[in-house]
Structures are given as structure tokens and as C-alpha cells.
Amino acid sequence: MDLTTLVGQSVVNGLVVGLLYLLMAVGFTLVFGVMRVVNFAHSEFYMLGAFVAYYCVTQLDLPFLSSVAITFVLALAFGWMVEWLILKPFRHDELNGMIATIGLAMILQNLALMAFGPDPLSMPSVVQGVVHLGFTVVPASRLYVVAFSIAVLALLYVFLRYTRTGRALRAVVQDVEIAAAQGICAQLIYPLGFGIGVGLAAVAGALMAPLFSVSPFIGAGPLLKAFIVVILGGLGSIPGAALASLLLGISESLAGTFLSTGAADILVFAFLIVMLVVRPSGLLARPEQ
Amino acid sequence: MNGATLWAGNLDSVRRRIAYLALIAICAAPFFLANAFYVHLAVLICLNVAIVGGLALICRTGQLPLGHGAFIGLGAYAAVTATMRAHWPFWLGAVGGTLFAALLAALLGWVILRLRGVYFVLVTFAFAELVRLVMLDWPSLTGGANGIAGIPPAALFGFEFDTKVRFYALALVLAVTVIVFLHVFFTTPTGHAVDAVAENPALAEASGLSVHRIQLLAFSIGSGIAGLGGALYAHYVGFVSPESFNTALSVAMIVMLVIGGRQSVWGPVIGALVLTPLPELFRGAVQTQHVFYGAALILILRFLPGGLASLLARRSVDRASY
């Protein structure tokens, strides 16, 4: 295999994982924006999403597209309920809210462990075959996932940008009190924001389920990457997150090909620390006033 | 009314005396226990008291690190490397492990403590994961996933702490030292500065306190204590592996701290005392145990944010307000 093919292949693989990181990071940053809480249970919603998609496809014989849609709706409803029942007292309480989501993550992961067992399950791929893109070869199932991720992100963009509810959500992210003064019902926006955020994590889980295995422990890795993306891109900045996650995915993939995976992780962390020293507000952010 | 107050005051001091006697009795009990398993639990409780005490110090500045387990591991690995490869005596290795953990915390803290609190959480979490990966990926030094076995027992001045009861004495000294240190620390001006920083960082800064410097100090000392606890743990168990110091350990320490109580020096003691033996109740049902931990965490945060220790404190506050 010559060098161009190798590099091209790594870049394409990196883009696929980068999109996964992006879905995770966008949901995470949305929840933080609305509630000011670091959501440690984000990984468990990713895991639950993967399980829902797995059961929809293998037990109910539903097509993949509707499985992903069902996953999102269920995660939104479940997230709404969790926010309302458990996290309501911890809104805008950074420290206690974070500890509460650690508790929530422990509960969800261990309930899943009791219900589904620790063994990884594998889900059939969505489509078979490969696609030739220029000088690289990509499995069609990966392209499928890429298309889905981009579609989900585009839908989110349209929702946040052009709908009344989306605008209300962004207003609450910027300033709750002013938003409330403008007649936005913040009491509904909190659970909605949390629900959409964890819904995105669940969709990421559902999309990745056919590519990787499904088990109660799969959430930890993507959560860590979402943290790194959020730090690099600047908390709350969606364009920053997009750039950071694609960069992270591609550089990990390249470093994993040419160096060892461990070396890749160390390089990423070193880069992260340098970024925090040089540009603490993120890749694309303007400096804070 | 005066009489009642006096009576209440007397009763309080009698109660307090009884509480101290009970505590001394609990501390002394393992020396007379025949059952080795209970002594083992007592050792673990003492190590946890010390480590959670270090975490409490950091938490009192208003920052909660999510990678405390990594510093326990760094201390353990540094101490083990020093004693087994460089053939340092145990105490020097333990001091080395402590300083190593504190130094790394200081370097990391210098960068991330200048940022908003949430970045501190995210970076400490990522750092802990990185430490675990490096330990796994560097087998020539750390033994990789196999870990390091056959660590010699602790020895001081020719006296070997090679039985459980002997080691318990060492662990007890550590736990008591850490708690007394915290108690004294919070009566010093620096200790008050820590509380001031947690209460209102902007006001503290405006009053001439350096929030960054105080948080950095607390983070370094707390992580150093974690490193010392890790060094002792390694020499007690005789085996370390990267998986001994994963996220679950960091989370377990936070659970102990929050359930015990974050605002009182007694919090780490109560948290470790209550939660260390708990896995024995759930033997064979680890998942149930963790669901219980999670639920307890949320309920404590919601209804008793000061933790179990605040039940003690509330008593005396109630009385003082009469």
C-alpha cells in the first residue's frame, strides 16, 4: 500500500470517528449551555441509544432509519423525565449538578449491566460492500453513518437557528433572566435542552452500534473524547466543536496509523495543555471580555 | 433559661467526650480483633480516610478534581519504582511518591486552575485517563497491564510492617495525622483563605487573596496526600496495576467525600467508615452496590448537602442558636 492511500484511508476513518465525537460534543455542550452542569451521564445515554437501536433492528426487525428516529424520541422523553425528576434542583449548580450526574451515570450503567449483561453484542451492518472514493476504499456502512451524522447535525442547526423553540433555547443559554423577561418559559426549556442534548448522544450511540460492539461499557471512550473536543473547541462554541472534533478524529487516526495508539493519546493531551495555556477560550472563540 | 443553657452545654460536652471515647475505642479495636479480614477492612478505612481527606482539602476551595485516583496511582508507582528499582528505603520511596504526585498536580494545576471551574473537572478527568494509558503503554517501567507484583512490605528503622495488625498501626498514624493536619490547617489564616475562596472567589480576589495560588496549594497538598496513600497501599497489598487506579476509584473517593460531608473535617472519616465496608454487604452483587451508591449520592446532594457529618454539626448549631 503506498503512502497516499494510507494517508487517505486514515483521513477518511478519522472523519468518521470525528463525526461521532462531534455528535457527542454538541449534545454535551448544549446541556452545559442550558443547565451549566457537566453531564457525566452523557456516556450512559450514548450506551442506552446503542442498545435501543440494537433491539429495534435485531428484535423488532425495524429498518435502521426508523430505529435511529425511535432512539432519538425515546432518549428525548427519557432525558426530559430525568431532568425533571432528578436534576431539577441542580440547575446552575456546577459542582453539585456534576456530582449528581456522576450518581446518575452509576445508576444507569449498572442497571444496564444487570439488564443486558457485560458481554459485547454485535449488530449487523446497515449496508454491505465498499465504495471507491478516488484512491481510497471506504466500507459503505461507514459512509451511511457519515451521511446520517451530517443529516442530524444539519437538522439540529436548522432547529436552533430558525425555529421559535430553537431560538428560545439559545436565548436561555445566553441569559436565563433576560430570556424569561422576554416571555420564554425557562421551565420547559431546561428539560427540552437536556433531552435534546442526551438525544444527540443516544443518536451517536445508535449510529455507531453497527460499526462497533454494543455493551454497557461503551460510553466511557466517547465521553472522554467529547471532553477533549469541548476543551479544544471552547465550551459552548458549536463551530469550535466541529473543527476540534474533526481535527481530533483525523489526527488520532493518522497518529494511530503511523505511531502507536498510546503515543497518539499522549500527543493529544500535550496539545490540549498547550492550547489551554495559549488559547484558553478555544480554537475559534474570541477572547473573553 | 440560664440553667437550661448550662445543662445543655454540659450535656454537649459529655456527649462529645463519649463520642471521642467511642472513636478511640473504634481505632483501638483492630489491635484486639482475631479476624484478619476485619483488620484488613480497618487498614483500607484508614487509607481511605487519608486520601479522602486530601480530596476534601481540594474540594474546600470550590474545585472538585475528577482524577484523584490518578494521583493515588502516581504516588504508588513512583514509590514502588523507587524502592524496587533504585532500592531506596520504604520511607524515602513514600516521600518520593508523595512529592511526585504533588509536583505533577502543581504543574497541571498551574495551567488549569486559571480557567473556569468546569475546565478543571474536564482536564483532571482526561489527565487521569492519560495516566492510566501511559501506565498500560510503558511496560518496561510499569509492568503494563500485568502490573507490578512482589512489592516488599513497608519497613521503618528495621521494623517490618509485614502483618495486617502492624500495618494497621502505620495506616492509623497516617489517617490521624491527615485529619489533625486538616483540623489545624483550617484554623490557620491560609485555611480561612481557603474557605473565603470557596465562598466567593471574586470577593476573595478583591480582598487581596490570590485565588489561583490558594487553589494551587490545596490541589498540590491534596494530591500529595493521595500519592502518600497510594504508596502505602502499594506496600500493603504488594501489587499494583493500572486498573487499580481507574475512574471508578476517583468516583469512589468522591462518593465517600460527598456522603461523609464536604464542609467538615469529620466528613472523610465518616464517609470512609460507612462506605469502605459496604461492598461486604453487597458481596456478589456489585451492580446493586453501585446503583445504591449512585442513588445515595443524589439523595444526599438533594436533602443533606453537608453529608452525614452535617447531622453532627446541625446539633451543635441548633444548640448554639438558643
- Confidence tier at A104 by pLDDT (50, 70, 90): very high
Min mean pLDDT across A36-40, A254-258, B78-82 is at A254-258
Domain boundary among B248, B275, B310: B248
For residues B146 and B41, state if they share a domain. Answer: yes
Q: Pick from B226, B246, B48: which is nearest to B145 by CA?
A: B246
For residues B61 and B143, state if they share a domain. Answer: yes
For residues B22 and B52, state if they share a domain. Answer: no
pLDDT of residue B1: 42
Q: Within a domain: residue B262?
A: no
pTM, two decimal places = 0.87
Secondary structure (H, E, C), chain A:
CCHHHHHHHHHHHHHHHHHHHHHHHHHHHHHHHHHCCCCCCHHHHHHHHHHHHHHHHHCCCCCHHHHHHHHHHHHHHHHHHHHHHHHHHHCCCHHHHHHHHHHHHHHHHHHHHHHHCCCCECCCCCCCCEEEECCEEEEHHHHHHHHHHHHHHHHHHHHHHHCHHHHHHHHHHHCHHHHHHCCCCHHHHHHHHHHHHHHHHHHHHHHHCCCCCECCCCCHHHHHHHHHHHHHHCCCCHHHHHHHHHHHHHHHHHHHHHCCHHHHHHHHHHHHHHHHHHCCCCCCCCCCC
Instruction: Count up the domains in chain B and report the number.
Output: 2
> Which range marks the domain in which residue B28 is found?
1-32
pLDDT of residue B8: 53
Q: Is it the case that residue A214 has pLDDT exceeding 50?
A: yes
Task: Report the C-alpha gap between B116 and A217 in whole angstroms.
Answer: 30
Residue of B62, B111, B121 with shortest CB distance to A273: B111
pLDDT of residue B144: 76
- Confidence tier at A198 by pLDDT (50, 70, 90): very high
Q: Which residues of B touch A221 (CB under 8 A)?
A: none
More confident residue, A157 or A257: A157
Q: Pick from B157, B170, B171: which is nearest to B92 by CA?
A: B157
Q: Which residues of A touch B254 (CB under 8 A)?
A: 99, 102
- Confidence tier at A62 by pLDDT (50, 70, 90): confident
Q: Is it the case that residue A289 has pLDDT exceeding 50?
A: no
Q: Within a domain: residue B254?
A: no
Would an 8 Å CB–CB cutoff place B120 in contact with chain A? no
Would an 8 Å CB–CB cutoff place B125 in contact with chain A? yes
Number of CB pairs, chain A paired with chain B, less than 8 A apart: 108
- Confidence tier at A136 by pLDDT (50, 70, 90): confident
- Average pLDDT on A193-198 reads 93
pLDDT of residue B242: 87
Would an 8 Å CB–CB cutoff place B144 in contact with chain A? no
Q: What is the CATH number of domain A3-278?
A: 1.10.3470
Q: Within a domain: residue B124?
A: yes
pLDDT of residue B319: 47
Task: Report the C-alpha gap between A60 and A69 in whole angstroms.
Answer: 14
- Confidence tier at A288 by pLDDT (50, 70, 90): very low
For residues B27 and B108, state if they share a domain. Answer: no
Q: What is the per-residue pLDDT across A69-102, written as a single tens digit (0 to 9) for each? A: 999 999 999 999 999 998 888 888 888 888 999 9
pLDDT above 70 coverage of chain A, percent:
96
For residues B234 and B170, state if they share a domain. Answer: yes
Domain boundaries, chain A: 3-278
For residues B67 and B148, state if they share a domain. Answer: yes
Whether the complex's predicted ipTM is more than 0.90 is answered with no
pLDDT of residue A1: 57
Q: Within a domain: residue B123?
A: yes
Q: How many Cα atoms are found within 13 Å in the side-chain-facing hemisphere of B193?
A: 18
Please answer yes or no on whether B251 and A266 come within 8 Å at the CB atom. Answer: no
Secondary structure (H, E, C), chain B:
CHHHHHHHHHHHHHHHHHHHHHHHHHHHHHHHCCCHHHHHHHHHHHHHHHHHHHHHHHHCCCCCCCCHHHHHHHHHHHHHHHHHCCCCCHHHHHHHHHHHHHHHHHHHHHHHCCCCHHHHHHHHHHHHHHHHHHHHHCHHHHCHHHCEECCCCCEECCEECCCHHHHHHHHHHHHHHHHHHHHHHCCCHHHHHHHHHHHCHHHHHHCCCCHHHHHHHHHHHHHHHHHHHHHHHHHHHCEECHHHHCHHHHHHHHHHHHHHCCCCCHHHHHHHHHHCCHHHHCCCCHHHHHHHHHHHHHHHHHHCCCCCHHHHHHHHHHHHCC
Q: Is it the case that residue A28 has pLDDT exceeding 70?
A: yes
For residues B41 and B28, state if they share a domain. Answer: no
Q: Within a domain: residue B306?
A: no
For residues B230 and B88, state if they share a domain. Answer: yes
pLDDT of residue A76: 94
Q: Within a domain: residue B315?
A: no
Q: Within a domain: residue B266?
A: no
Task: Report the C-alpha gap between A33 and A27 in whole angstroms.
Answer: 10
Smallest CA–CA separation between B133 and chain A, in Å?
A: 7
Q: Is it the case that residue A279 has pLDDT exceeding 80?
A: no
Task: Report the C-alpha gap between B136 and A221 in whole angstroms.
Answer: 16
- Average pLDDT on A94-116 reads 91
For residues B160 and B19, state if they share a domain. Answer: no
pLDDT of residue A287: 46
Q: Within a domain: residue B269?
A: no
Instruction: Report CA B109 to chain centroid distance, whole Å.
Output: 18
Would an 8 Å CB–CB cutoff place A107 in contact with chain B? yes
For residues B153 and B21, state if they share a domain. Answer: no
Q: Which residues of A touch B302 (CB under 8 A)?
A: 89, 100
Smallest CA–CA separation between A205 and chain B, in Å?
A: 21
Task: Report the C-alpha gap between A173 and A31 in whole angstroms.
Answer: 9
pLDDT < 50 positions in chain B = 1-3, 317-322
Q: Which residues of B touch A279 (CB under 8 A)?
A: none
